[in-house]
Structure 1
Amino acid sequence: MSSCIFGKPRTPLEIRGRSLPDDAEAQGELVVFGDDLGNAAFVSHQWLSKQHPDPDFKQMRILQNALKRILNGSGSVSLDFITESVVQTARPLPMQELQMKTLYFWYDYFSCPQLERQIDKTTSLHQANAIASIPAYIARCKFFFALCPVLDCPFEGKVLTAATWSRRGWCRLERAARELSPSSTWILIQSETSIETVGTVLSFPSGSVGEGDFGIAEDRQKLASVMRKILMQKLNHCLRVGDLPGFRRHFNLQTVYLRGLDIEPLTGLLPRTEGGDDAVAEFLHQNGLRRVGVVDGAGWSPLHYAALAGNIEALDLAVFFKHHEATELLLAARAHLEGGFSPAVLAAASSDSREGIRLLCAAGARPLARNLLGVSPLQCAAGLASTSALEELLVQGRPDSLDLSRALFDATWFRGGSAELVQRLIELGADVDFQVNLARDYTLLGRLLFVVKSLRYQIGRKTVLTTLAYHLQGSTPLMQAIRSAQFEAAAALIAAGARLDLCNCRHWTAADFARCQSIPRFLQLGLEGDPSECRRVFSLALSDGYVEVPF
């Protein structure tokens, strides 16, 4: 049985704000963990200051209370609404799975001795080993928690949110290690009450590790070999279990996973064929494919896998993964700009590809074309916090106030609720008190989807998606910001003068949504009619930063 070192099992209330000493194992503070002891959970988080991850214990208290709800609750941790919408095989996580065995927690400050002395060659080696071990710890953990509450840190001059977590290079590595492991789902904790199971990369926009934010530039390259090893382990796992479509997908996405890192991708796991100079034949060989025109068990052709790798391929994939040369080749070959569920420009907006939007629009794409549900690229860019794409769409198209207001709403109901984006859309003319009108804002197919999900809520199937659908008609950006635990956006909206008395179709105000949430004090004061603290947090968030974790 494989084993590794974890902190002694403790209840959430027994966790204290100190790091473990170097001789913690000798003192009995650390144990050799094995599956016979229980289950392990990895906690990915941000540091609130350079010296300590949580000086005032604010972040840990949210983790404690969230765990209390899970460990003492019944039912399941709901899927986020994107996973529920697009992954038909996904299932919510039963809370019983977290309750049935003792839980061990891996939390860097407690589980890794912190370097408090001058770094020499020996400590540098320890640091390198610690970095290389992160994927191993994540692989040994049955559960992965991303602890991403909204916390204002006035002395550090920043506001921490799920968005800042997603931009941080170290957190991207931890997330990549989880999503490329056999157990790819993870749990997002945004507040004591906002807890969701994330089951697809589409649910939480991020980016490659190498393109993440690093306070120390040299740290970026330290992760190159680690990321390459994570990929190798994933490819080997796919081959062991016979998942050839999965192998092909990840093998050809190497250029995306390793983007921004100075390291070469794997050229192939199989010996080169005779006449290996034939690029097409070699591509088919390394992907275990026989002919160009044949699809595999996942319904994908060699052209699709070539697009993932940035060769040439289906236009949506090439645009989404920012393979601009492949996009130009496909456009020159007259690839369809629209068709199917969504126009190609919407894929570019989803991945924040400003250049992709330029190329598509130059080829004749409509920048404001909508998908079959009635969602525009502008809404998609706002909802996914794709700020560069949003700015390019503003250049290419002429959105009216309704388009901008819809974009503001989508920013607050999904992942785009930053102070900067809210401010930008309001400055452009978005209505801070916009209310959704299903008949006006969605196609017939979109309305049918929400009607079905609303009915499921009424018969007791309460999930993130069904709750959203039930309350959607008449909802405002402020209501959605509170429902989705995007409290930074809620502060920005209150600071901008959002009305507190508006009601949705269920006669709920923003304050009613807050009663179903654990909200920070600044937002509680704002909902009670005192916007001063919301204005302070809004101003602080506009100069947002982040802190690197020292090893």
Structure 2
Amino acid sequence: MSCCRRAARTPLARHAAILAAEDDGRDGAAPMHFPMYTIPADVLLEMTEIKPHEELMAMSLLTAFDGTQGKAGLVSHQWAAMHHPDPEMKQMRVFQDALRHLLKDKGMVPLDCITETFLTSAKAIALTAFQSEPLFLWYDYFSVPQDRDSHDQAKAIQSIPAYVAACSFFFALVPYIEDQPLSPLSWSHRGWCRLERVVREISADHTWILIKSSTSLEVVGTAASFPIGQVGEGDFTVPADAERLGPVIRGVVFHKLRSCLKARDFPGYRRHLNLQSVYFKNLPVEPLQDFVPGFDDLELGSSAASPRELAVARFMHQNGFRSVREVDGAGWTPIHYAALSGNAELVVGLLQQRAALDRRTSKGEPKLGVPPLVSALELALAYRQHDSTRALIEARAQLRGALYPAMQIAALADNPEGIRMLCAAGADPVGRNLFGFTALDSAFILAGVAAREELLRQMDFEASLLSCVLLTAMLYRGGTAEAVQRLVGLRADIDFQFSAPAVSPFGAVLAIMSLQHRLGRVTAQTEQFYHYRGMTPLMAAVFSSQYEGAAALIAAGAKLELRNCRGFSAADFAKRRSLPDFLEQGLLGDRLACQRVTTLALATGTGGIVQCTV
């Protein structure tokens, strides 16, 4: 017998081959139970009033999109009132102006800075992509019957995954509306918006376009770019709506698993299979079990095996592994996927069978915001899987990260319980990485209020560090009035100007990216680094179109005349951007409107006032 005989295929590989050979008309796409009614872009641009689906149908203004008419885009947005999404057309006017730009101008929609860092394969979108074919828009109030008791509305909700899949573009319409207030952060909290975003991020084309103003558009291609949160943890005005969405999410995961297997994308299948407890959190649905048939026939499935051994055997069967130390095509081992699942018994069982506790992945998963060289512990922290985190810490997993300290990963995930466990195990709450940024920076970057408060409880941070955190928050996604108030109250310098030693890791990055910018590689990221030295929190908030944070800084007395290393003031950064009136007035020295906006934002918080169904 040859010693080179190829090993038999795993049950997972055999099942994938069977699925791939099937010609059942189900290519992994979600079914469409209700027609995809859309409105032509030229009709939307002429609208002066937002009318419901029923009225637009009666006026024959809707098109049942089937892919032959052109391209489609789905518009995800927040409702501004209980029974109407946008009574005063405030959000819609921003979208109309942005749409005119997309359809008539030349240029690109740039990548956001975090996507550019994490997902090197991501590309900016040329405006010609929106202009090459007629464009049709799916907007819930236009496209879905508005009678909550209608069977057609239920069928349309079930069809949201199919609508997303049929769309070439996904727009998150998140302008700052000061009298609500509505903002990118409040959009990220809404349950219905989370559903649409999760469906898009799980789909084959996972990128989406963030519209913060008519001139501030950016392509988002990684989950690391935006505050995370699962559908069942979102804000719902009608709590029962979460129950309606559970089966929708379960169906999305089912079709994704099937699609991955048909394409023989085993790492993708394993990630989504083991993230079910994350996707379904607080939703009344059960995880998909025994996706790969045949486990009951295995000898280890007999009653002679202990419950823990049985759990490991089932896991290895469903995930297609032969050994607990096997490394798959994505550079991950069984312990990494088990950490995602949150099953502590499974983690302990794998460790008892000599799984490598501190083995790091050789590759990242940038779409999920997971860098390379992460451990099972860091994955458990990233997905707030407290049981598996506790099991790994009790097994004495290393607390120091590779590219990022474990503390920083917990902070990015807004994971206060993970932070507490790390601190109890002796980890440093500062959590400084190679480039000098801390866990507190990470918490404020994505507006992780719970994580930041836990870090602040764990130790007292120096005023100089807090000042740098204020700048970082304004430069990314943490630009809220509440963040400004919190940090200034802790002695952060509102007029802090950034500097870094030339001979330092971050100084080297600044030099390289600035040079690229000067040589013509102009992206959001290179422009940011080109202007970084001497930048103030106010400049950062204007640069990143975080208007609430900018208003709060002006209201608190931020100096308007300061300039960065390139001679730019905050007003100079505003010249190429469409600003709300209150900010224009503030940058001219009239702070009253910014004070009013800040007072309102602090009174109502970032979550807005209502969350409505389609």
Instruction: Give your verdict on TM over 0.5.
Output: yes
Contact in 1 for aligned 2:37/2:144 (Cα 8 Å): no
Equivalent residue number for residue 17 of structure 2:
none
Contact 1:164 1:546 in 2 (8 A): no
Q: Which amino acid aligns with 1:534?
A: C
Alpha-carbon separation, structure 2, partners of 1:532 and 1:259: 43
Match of 1:523 among 558, 583, 599: 583
Deviation track 1:27-79 (CA, whole Å, cap 9, x = no partner) reads 53222222221000000001222232222222111111112222223332111
Looking at structure 1, the residues matched to 91 and 311 of structure 2 have their Cα atoms a distance apart, in angstroms, of: 52
Tell me, in whole angstroms, the C-alpha distance in 2 between the residues paired with 1:252 and 1:290. 17
SS in structure 2 of the partner of residue 43 of structure 1: strand
Larger radius of gyration: 2
3-state SS of paired residue (1:370): coil
Aligned to 2:123: 91
Counterparts in 2 of 1:469-508, with a 5 A limit?
469-508=529-568
Rounded to whole Å, the distance in 1 between the matches of 2:501 and 2:189 is 36
Offset, 1:124: 4.5
Distance (Å, rounded) in 1 between the aligned partners of 2:157 and 2:144: 11
Deviation at 1:391, TM superposition (A): 0.7
Q: CA shift at 1:367, angstroms?
A: 0.3
Question: What CA distance in whole angstroms lies between the structure 1 residues aligned with 2:290 and 2:537?
Answer: 48
User: Does residue 268 of structure 2 align to residue 206 of structure 1?
Assistant: no
Percent identical residues: 48
Per the TM alignment, residue 272 of structure 1 is displaced from its structure 2 partner at its CA by 4.3
Secondary structure, aligned partner of 2:181:
strand
Cα displacement string for residues 122-142 of structure 1 (whole angstroms, at most 9, x for unaligned residues): x25333223212222111111
> Deviations for 1:284-338, whole angstroms, at most 9, x for unmatched residues?
1101122111111110111111111113371111111111121111111111111
Shift of 1:185: 0.5
Once the two structures are TM-superposed, the CA of residue 415 in structure 1 deviates from its matched residue by: 0.5
Aligned partners of 1:452 and 1:64: how far apart in 2? 38
Deviations 1:256-276 (A, max 9, x none): 111111221112311242123
1:353-390 Cα offsets, whole Å, 9 max, x none, are 11100000000000002111111001110111111111
1:223-262 residue pairs with structure 2 within 5 A? Answer: 223-262=245-284
Is 2:206 the counterpart of 1:172?
A: no
- Between 209-218 and 351-360, report the one with greater CA deviation: 209-218
Gaps of 5+ in 1: none
Q: Secondary structure at the match of 1:197?
A: strand
Amino acid in the other structure paired with 1:7: T
Aligned counterpart, 2:381: 319
Structure 2, unaligned runs of 5 or more: 1-24, 26-30, 348-356, 358-375
| Contact 1:284 1:290 (8 Å CA) reproduced | yes
Among residues 165, 172, 185, which one is paired with 1:139 in the alignment? 165
3-state secondary structure, aligned to 1:159 = coil
Moved more, 419-428 or 69-78: 69-78
TM-score, normalization by structure 1:
0.94
Counterpart selection for 2:317 from 265, 285, 289: 285
Deviation, 1:26, is: 6.4
Number of the residue aligned with 1:540: 600
* Aligned CA distance change for structure 1 residues 55 and 80 (closer, same or farther; 3 Å): same
Q: Are 1:389 and 2:488 matched, yes or no?
A: no
Deviations 1:219-248 (A, max 9, x none): 122111111111111111111222111111
The offset of 1:207, in angstroms, is 0.5
Counting only pairs closer than 5 Å after superposition, residues 272-351 of structure 1 correspond to structure 2 as 272-273=294-295, 274=298, 275-276=300-301, 278-311=310-343, 312=347, 314-351=376-413
| Residue correspondences, number | 539
Per-residue deviation at 1:25?
Answer: 4.6
What is the match of residue 183 of structure 1? 205
CA contact (8 A) 1:19 1:114 kept: no
The TM-score with structure 2 as length reference comes to 0.85
Q: Does 1:461 align with 2:526?
A: no
- CA distance, structure 1, for counterparts of residue 41 and residue 384 of structure 2: 45
Q: State the one-letter code of the partner of 1:188.
A: L
Which of 335-344 and 485-494 deviates more? 335-344
RMSD: 1.8
CA–CA separation in structure 2 for the residues paired with 1:36 and 1:124: 28
CA spacing shift, 1:221–1:527, aligned 2, 3 Å: same
Tell whether 2:155 aligns with 1:129. Answer: yes
| Residue 7 of structure 1, CA deviation | 2.9
Give the match for residue 549 of structure 1. 612
Matched, 1:6 2:37: yes
Letter in 2 for 1:208: Q
- 1:435-475 Cα offsets, whole Å, 9 max, x none, are 101229xx822222222221121122211101100110000
Distance in 2 of aligned mates of 1:7 and 1:16: 17
Q: Could you say what secondary structure the match of 1:327 adopts?
A: helix
SS at match of 1:298: coil
Q: Quick check: 1:71 aligned with 2:103?
A: yes
Contact 1:148 1:189 in 2 (8 A): yes
1:294–1:301 contact (8 Å) kept in structure 2: yes
In the alignment, residue 289 of structure 1 is paired with which amino acid?
F
CA contact under 8 A between 1:378 and 1:403: conserved in structure 2?
no
Amino acid aligned to 1:486:
Q
